[in-house]
Structure 1
Amino acid sequence: MEPTPQQAGAPASPRAALIVNTHSRKGADQFAQAQSLFEAAGLPLAEAHGVRDPSQMRSTVEKALADGAQLVIVGGGDGSISTTIGAMIGSKAIFAPLPLGTANSFARGLGIGPGIEEAVATIAAGHSIWVDLAEIDGNMFANSAGMGMPPMIGDTIPPKVKRWFGRVGYLGWAIYSLIRFRPFRLTLESPDGTEQCWATELRMLNGQYTGGIKVSDEAQLDDGAILIQIVSGKSKWSLARDWYLRLLGLRRREGMACEIKVKQARIDARPCQKVAIDGEVLARTPFDLSIHRRAVQVIAQHPDAAPQGEGLGAALLSAAQSLMPGEPVQGLAGLGNNGPQRPPQSGRKTMDKQKIGEGNYEAAEEFQNEQHEFAKSGKAEQKAREAADALDGPEAEELEKARKASADGRSS
C-alpha cells in the first residue's frame, strides 16, 4: 500500500478557520461556495462560521485562535478586515482576507482576488509575508483611513445603494456628496514639524488602495511608515480632479495631493472632522496616528505569480497620459498656495525634471510634439513618395547587389 502524503513526509495542512461576514454584500451568497472551493483546493477547514452580526466578527476570530487555528480566513469587506486583524497581533497564526466586500482594498494590495476562485487559490498556495498595522486612537487598520469625503460617504450612503450597486453606487454617491462637502483647516504635528493648511481631504495609507482604487505607488504594507496624502486648498474641483486622475491610473501629476511619510502624528481639524477607517466611521479629530511594525503575518500573492491588472485605470492609462501632458511629481515640497512653503525635511523628497535616461518626460513630450508637427507639415507623404521612387530606380539595383553579397558571405 502506497503511503499517504503525510506518511511520505509532506507537511500537514494548517488548522484553518473560515469566518465570513454573511451580512456583507457577497458574504451570504458565497459562504457555502467558499467552503467547497477550499476543500477542492486541498485546504480542509477545521471550522467555518457564518456571522450575521458584524460586531461578533472579532470575538469569533479570537475564539478560533484560542481553539488552535493556525490559519484564520476572514471573508468580507475592508471593514471586516479592520475589525478582526488586530486580534492577530502576538499570535503565531497567519491571517488571510477573503474578498467578499465592495472595494476589497486590502486584498487587492496583497494580490488576492478579485474573484473568489482566484482568492481561494492564492490562499491555498500559502505564501505569507509580514505587514505593518496602523492605529488611530486604539482602532487598528490594515489598509487606509481618511478625513473629508470618505467619512461623509461612509456615514450617509444608503445601505441598499452599497449592496445593490457596489463600487458604481459609491461613485454616484461620492458625486452627490461632493456638492454638499465643505473644506476644513488641517493641523498635522509630527517629529518633522507642524503643517497647517486648508484641505479638502486627508488620506492615511498603509496600503496602496482605497475604495478599490490604487491611489499611491509609494505606500507599502511593510515599510514601517504611513503615507499621508493631503489635497490642500479649498477647491472641491481640485479634489474631484485628483480622484479623477487616480481613477485613470495617473498618480503622480502636478497639482495633485501632496505626500509625506510619517511613523507617528497628531492630527486635528477645524471644524471637527470624522474619520473613516477602511470604510467605517470610527473616530474623529483630534487623534493620534501611529504604526505597528511587522505586526501580523498575512497571506499574499507569490511574487512570481502574474500581477493583477488595475481595472479601469490600467485600461485607460495610455490614453489618459496622451491627453493629460505634464510632469509627474513625487513627494512634498510645501503645501501650495494655501499651505506652508518650506524645504523638504526628513522623509520628504522631490523629483526634478529628468533630462536624461529612463523617465525623460521633457524629451518624450518634445519628441511627441515634433512627430505631430512633422505629420501636419505633409513631409511624411513626401518622404514616402521619395522612398517608393528610390526603390524603383538605380538604388534598387544597389540594394539587390548588397543583399546577394550578404547571402554569399561577402561584403559589397
Structure 2
Amino acid sequence: MNYWLIVNTGAGDGSRGESYWREHLQAAGVEGLKVRDLADTEWEGDVAIGDRVLVAGGDGSVNRVATVCVERQAVLGVLPSGTANDFARNLDLPDDPATLCRIATGEATLAVDVAWINDWLFLNVAHLGLGTLPAREASQEQKRHLGRFSYLLTLAQRIGMQNGIHARIECGEQSATGQWLTIAIASGAYFGGGHTIDEAYIDDGKLDVVAVRKRSWWRLLVAFVTTRLLRMTSDTDDTLVHFQAPSCRVTLKHPHTLTADGEDLGQTQQVEAFTRHGVLQVAGRPEASPRLRFSRLEPLAAQPRPAPL
C-alpha cells in the first residue's frame, strides 16, 4: 500500500501546506510518502487499489481526489486545509493536526455516499440560484481574511439583487414548480462553512433537495425562524420545500449557473443528479456518528464507475 499526499498550495490561508502536513505525518509514522501537487494529473494513473490518498485542501480539492479514489478503489484521507471544509464536518473530524494524521492513516474506514450531478462528482452540495454566488464571487482575499464568513458576506451583498429562477423539481414521486430563490441538492449535511441541512446524512443513500421560493422579506424571515430556529414545519407555508430521494431532476425555464462543492460548472437548463450508497472508502473514527459504518481496512475489489439509473 502506498501513502499519497496531494496538496493544494492555494487552499485556505496557505498555512497548512506540504511541509506542515509532512511533519505531522512523519510523526504519525508514515514513511515513503508520495507528495504531489493537486494541479498535476500524472499521479492519478499511478494510484493503486487500496492505496491511501491524503488530500490537504478545501472541499474542491477533496472532491477532485475523491473522484480518483472512487475510480481507483483507493481510500481517501482528509486533512482539512481550506476555507469551509464541509466534508470534514460531515466526517466529524477534529481540528488537531496530530489527531487528524492518526485518523487519516489508521485502519478504521467508513463507506460514504457519492453523488453525481450532470456527470460531475460531488460530496457536499450543488446549488442553483442564490446559493451559487459565494462560490463564484467570494474573493480569495475575503476567504483568506474572513474564512467561511466570506460566503455570508457575499450573500448579504447580493441577496437583494436576485429575481429568482423558474424551475420544476422532481424527486421520485415528489415534485414542485415555481420561482425559486435558491435550490440546493445535498449529498451530506453541511454546506457553506458549517450550515446544516436537517435530516441529511452522508451515508443514507439519499439526496436532500432543499429549495426556497422567492418571497417577501417577512415571509422568508418567518420561514427561517420556524424551520431553523424552532425546528418546526408548516402545513400551510410552502416557502421552503425539502425532498429526499436517490435521484432528482431540475428543469429550468432559462439557463442558470450550477455549482457543486464550490466549483462553477457553468450554465445549464437541465440538471440530473443521483447518489450511490457507500461507494467511497474514507479514513475516519468509529465514534464519529452512529449513522456511519466503519470496518477494518481490507483489500478492495476493482469496480467500474457507478452509472446513473
Whether the TM-score (by the shorter chain) exceeds 0.5 is yes
Which structure carries more strand by proportion? 2
| Per-residue Cα deviation, 1:3-53 (whole angstroms, up to 9, x for no partner) | xxxxxxxxxxx52111010111244643211111111122335211244x4
**More RCO (CA 8 Å, sep 6+):** 2
1:221 alignment partner, one of 186, 202, 215: 202
The residue identity in structure 2 corresponding to 1:36 is E
2:170 alignment partner, one of 189, 192, 198: 189
How many correspondences in the alignment? 286
Q: In the alignment, is residue 35 of structure 1 matched against residue 22 of structure 2?
A: yes
1:138 alignment partner, one of 109, 119, 126: 119
Task: Work out the percentage of aligned pairs sharing the same amino acid.
Answer: 24
1:62 alignment partner, one of 37, 41, 44: 44
Structure 1 residues 152 and 17 mapped into 2: Cα distance closer, same or farther (>3 Å)? same
Q: In the alignment, is residue 293 of structure 1 matched against residue 277 of structure 2?
A: yes
Deviation for aligned residue 1:271: 3.7
Contact kept in structure 2, 1:26 and 1:76, CA below 8 Å: no
Structure 1: runs of 5 or more not aligned:
1-13, 306-412
Q: In the alignment, is residue 282 of structure 1 matched against residue 265 of structure 2?
A: yes
1:302 alignment partner, one of 283, 286, 292: 286
Mapping for residues 154-173 of structure 1, pairs under 5 Å = 154-173=135-154
For 2:12, the equivalent position in structure 1 comes to 25
Structure 1 residues 182 and 296 mapped into 2: Cα distance closer, same or farther (>3 Å)? same
Deviation for aligned residue 1:269: 2.3
Distance (whole Å) between structure 2 residues aligned to residue 250 and residue 125 of structure 1: 40
Contact kept in structure 2, 1:275 and 1:285, CA below 8 Å: no
2:31 alignment partner, one of 44, 55, 60: 44
Structure 1 residues 290 and 46 mapped into 2: Cα distance closer, same or farther (>3 Å)? same
| Per-residue Cα deviation, 1:89-122 (whole angstroms, up to 9, x for no partner) | 2433211121111110011100123343442232
Distance (whole Å) between structure 2 residues aligned to residue 236 and residue 124 of structure 1: 48
1:94 alignment partner, one of 70, 75, 83: 75
2:241 alignment partner, one of 255, 258, 262: 258
Mapping for residues 325-364 of structure 1, pairs under 5 Å = none
Structure 1 residues 174 and 243 mapped into 2: Cα distance closer, same or farther (>3 Å)? farther
1:212 alignment partner, one of 189, 193, 207: 193
Which structure carries more helix by proportion? 1
Deviation for aligned residue 1:264: 1.6
Q: Tell me, what secondary structure is at the counterpart of 2:72?
A: coil
Q: Tell me, what secondary structure is at the counterpart of 1:200?
A: strand
Root-mean-square deviation (Å): 2.8
Q: Tell me, what secondary structure is at the counterpart of 1:289?
A: strand
The residue identity in structure 1 corresponding to 2:44 is E
Distance (whole Å) between structure 2 residues aligned to residue 16 and residue 237 of structure 1: 53
Q: Tell me, what secondary structure is at the counterpart of 1:134?
A: strand
Structure 1 residues 75 and 239 mapped into 2: Cα distance closer, same or farther (>3 Å)? farther
Distance (whole Å) between structure 2 residues aligned to residue 226 and residue 253 of structure 1: 20
Farther off after superposition, 79-88 or 41-50: 41-50
TM-score by length of 2: 0.82
The residue identity in structure 2 corresponding to 1:146 is H
